[in-house]
With several copies, the nearest count.
Chain A
Amino acid sequence: MQKIVENHEVIETVHLNENSYVLRLKSPVEIPEIHPGNFAEIQVPDTMGVFLRRPFSILDVNYKNREISFYIKAIGSGTQKLGELQPGMQVNLIYPLGNRYTIPQGLKRALIVGGGTGIAPFILLGKELKEKGIETTFLIGGRTSKDILLTDKFSEYGTIEVTTEDGSMGEKGFVTSHSLFNRNDFPFEYVYTCGPDAMMKAVGHLVTQKGVVCEASLENMMACGYGICLCCVTPTVEGNKRVCYEGPVFNVSYLKWQN
């Protein structure tokens, strides 16, 4: 897989709520092929206390215009600073990194379960599923209706279900308590998930019990992002694997999750 290390120009930063935004960047070179689940390592310009790059899933890409975008939640110094970048500023990116969500031959119905910034990989995934004629349901969870973002995008690729903890939108509760999972017929042959660890574990558990395959994209503290430091491992049935290199996407039954 061809990789690039390049300064990208900020096109704009679209703020979605108090602490989430979409960062749109322009590449100086042709963008290599991006697959759903791939991520980039972004170098945060000069910021006290930020030494290493930061990993972010690739939200969307426009090959013709050489545009790439990210959906970022400000949780610390690095994500704060990226949200303050002004159009025209430069930021260095390495991508595409990591493996991808797989789409098995003959798949007919897929469920995508996401929470928080975990929804980022699902625009590219939804797009590809739609291209292949696969019927897709997006199940998005959040604390309140304010956390349910980008649904306009997802609606282009499938139907949308929502849960919120306070019931302000969709069904009340966690994604795992959604009625989808309680029906006698579970119409999905494949489940894709990304979000907080606890959510992914619960989803993985529920889904595999039903005998359905589940792929999760893991969060992790990374130093390099391209497989050379061994800081980002997760235990699997075959021993420790690098989340940035053998992952971030894993079949949950391959994982030996700890807390």
Chain B
Amino acid sequence: MAKLSIKVHDLEFQNPVTVASGTFGFGEEMTKFIDLNKLGGIFVKGLTIHNREGNDYPRMAETASGMLNSVGLQNKGIDYFIKHIYPNIKDYNTHIIANVNGSTIEDYIAVTEKLNELDKVPAIELNISCPNVKQGGMLFGISCPSAIAVTDAVRKVYDKTLIVKLSPNVTDIAEMAKAVEGAGADSVSLINTLLGMAINAEKRKPVLSTITGGLSGPAIKPVALRMVWQVYKAVKIPVIGMGGIMNATDAIEFFLAGSSAIQVGTANFIDPAISLKIITGINEYLDRHNFDCVEDLIGALEV
């Protein structure tokens, strides 16, 4: 069996298959389906400084090979997380990575400072790419200066591995990646959702309460692969890839394009055990192609 462990900056993952923020809750609901200890890591649902009720229903629209969501970062706030959720999940034998959100730089700093104190959260993912909130969110992630400002501010208060999650809704993703690398990110993860919209023709109304929402699923895989490839070539820090990964072949494609680890998102909604099946499939691929370790696939696209 090939070696599956990989490193993202200083942090070693037992395997490169993690689950994407917002698509796995805090893991608790999933214990009924799979053994979480087998995962490379869990990026938990986005956290904010205060409780957020999220957007109004409807928050979901199905699209061709994908879906739109406009959940809007519903969560009970960082203090609730620390008090009521963290204790239940901290002893899993997998990395718990917190997804950090804010409307202002101060928000981001405040949440990060609290997370910095948690022993069993070895990394944070700075979400500057949420398309579903009115303030902050994606606005930070679509201009270099603001991305730099928030990354820099968080870096100053965070000692562990800092992953910055990039928005695909930009002209030049490589520029954005270089900007946050320069500002101190240890890794970048991409892509968050593409901004999209669905309309109910019969009712002549938007399907989502928020009119627009974030597009995820296989529909966006070609865009995600392209961006991972562009970013991989532009930066020196490790890239964590995601966007439409539904099976092991998709995962392999992301490694080849330059991902050190991958995140499984929307696929969790269709098969709660998909992440473990992907681990098995990666193993089979490595054996079949005589690779000793998954690391040898990273960026190994022959062009």
Query: A: which residues have CB within 8 A of B?
Result: 1-3, 5, 43, 49-53, 94, 220-235, 239-240, 245, 258
A226 to chain B: closest CB distance in Å? 6
Query: Contacting A51 at CB < 8 Å: which of B45, B54, B56, B62?
Result: B62
- Tell me the complex Cα distance, A94–B272, Å: 9
- Tell me the complex Cα distance, A232–B69, Å: 10
A53-B45 in contact given A3-B33, A228-B29 (Cβ < 8 Å): no
Say whether A224 contacts B269, CB under 8 Å.
Answer: yes
Say whether A229 contacts B29, CB under 8 Å.
Answer: no
Say whether B58 contacts A221, CB under 8 Å.
Answer: yes
A43 contacts across to B, CB distance below 8 A:
270
Say whether A233 contacts B25, CB under 8 Å.
Answer: no
A228-B71 in contact given A52-B62, A223-B60, A239-B53 (Cβ < 8 Å): no
Say whether A234 contacts B29, CB under 8 Å.
Answer: no
Size of chain B's interface in residues, with CB distance under 8 A? 35
Say whether A258 contacts B269, CB under 8 Å.
Answer: no
Contacts A230-B74, A231-B71 supplied; 4 other A-B pairs, CB < 8 Å? A3-B32, A53-B269, A223-B67, A226-B29
Say whether A5 contacts B272, CB under 8 Å.
Answer: yes
A225 contacts across to B, CB distance below 8 A:
269
Query: Contacting A228 at CB < 8 Å: which of B30, B56, B57?
Result: B30
Say whether A5 contacts B63, CB under 8 Å.
Answer: no
Which residues in window 259-285 of B have CB below 8 A to A?
Answer: 266, 268-273
Say whether A240 contacts B69, CB under 8 Å.
Answer: no
Say whether B56 contacts A1, CB under 8 Å.
Answer: no
| B23 interface hit (Cβ, 8 Å) | yes
Say whether B53 contacts A231, CB under 8 Å.
Answer: no
Say whether A228 contacts B270, CB under 8 Å.
Answer: no
Say whether B30 contacts A221, CB under 8 Å.
Answer: no
B58 contacts across to A, CB distance below 8 A:
221
- Tell me the complex Cα distance, A53–B271, Å: 9
Say whether B217 contacts A258, CB under 8 Å.
Answer: no
Which residues in window 231-275 of B have CB below 8 A to A?
Answer: 266, 268-273
